[in-house]
Structure 1
């Protein structure tokens, strides 16, 4: 049995294209991987620590190889617990809309908590950075109002580019991307785009 962690970052819920395609993916995965456990992490219903005070101090203690104070230890343990929850999964699905050409701030906050030295990456002076979350597949479902595949538009896509960079940095090499774009258009066109994304989602989920 494997554990699939589904990370949801849109607040639109029933009106969200990224969530609709993710649910299609998860339904197909349940049908084809009945023994797997699926855990949903709704970032709009999750309390995350602020990265200030003792928490940011603790991070720099880690970076400098120094001991924690009692307050720093307590603050850092909260971060470690969230990192451990993330790393406990065997496979991942992340759904997100594009906000202002990038990712929702709730997802950025989560990433800023889990992307930590000694937790999801390490640094060696001789070899540089290396990710610690390895050997696990991830599927990322992107919804965007516009289309960003052309030469003139792709420079504005700070959503998928950032996620590809971040996931690679912490160790992922098996990355599936499902694009739902453009979602701002004629209803029939959008419905066809969503249907195509759902078809791709079912195909990826069956072999995930």
Structure 2
């Protein structure tokens, strides 16, 4: 009986601890709806590692970012962004079907999932991390408006070694504030997001140049800046 009672108490304590962690995480997500995150998990990891360059990042409001920039990342990474609830289950089903048909396994992460990963998690491809990413993305989508998701993502995304956020990227690569980015410049920044440690804005490979052209084509096909009115 004593052993059974000890097990019950231990399980109760574990459940309470788990509940406290979940509550803390979702309170943090709610706080970040109104308060700009002071840093992110990816930025902390960069600073704690053997960083070759100092970290550069400057937070700007969405109103201070060229509207071409959110359109570019939506066109490039998540064209169903206005419609899904943080996780695009339709895109996941399609990716799995393509994989079963013999095609390569492609990612189906949404901008919301990438925001959750960059803000709270670590890089990698483990099932545990992907599951946590999905849960956090659902919470973020439930607590934040879509425009806030884009604002946070554009301020914490990595655009090159030690270069975080669109304002720092715009100043370093183009010598201008983010609010002055042109359609082409926004597409160039979006083109390197899949792998900013390898892909370069200033020395684009043929692959990056093809991505820039494709992103601009998608931006136009999405009806241009009118597409953002759906957010």
Instruction: Give the TM interval when normalised to the shorter protein.
Output: under 0.3
- TM-score, scaled relative to structure 1: 0.27
Structure number with larger C-alpha Rg: 2
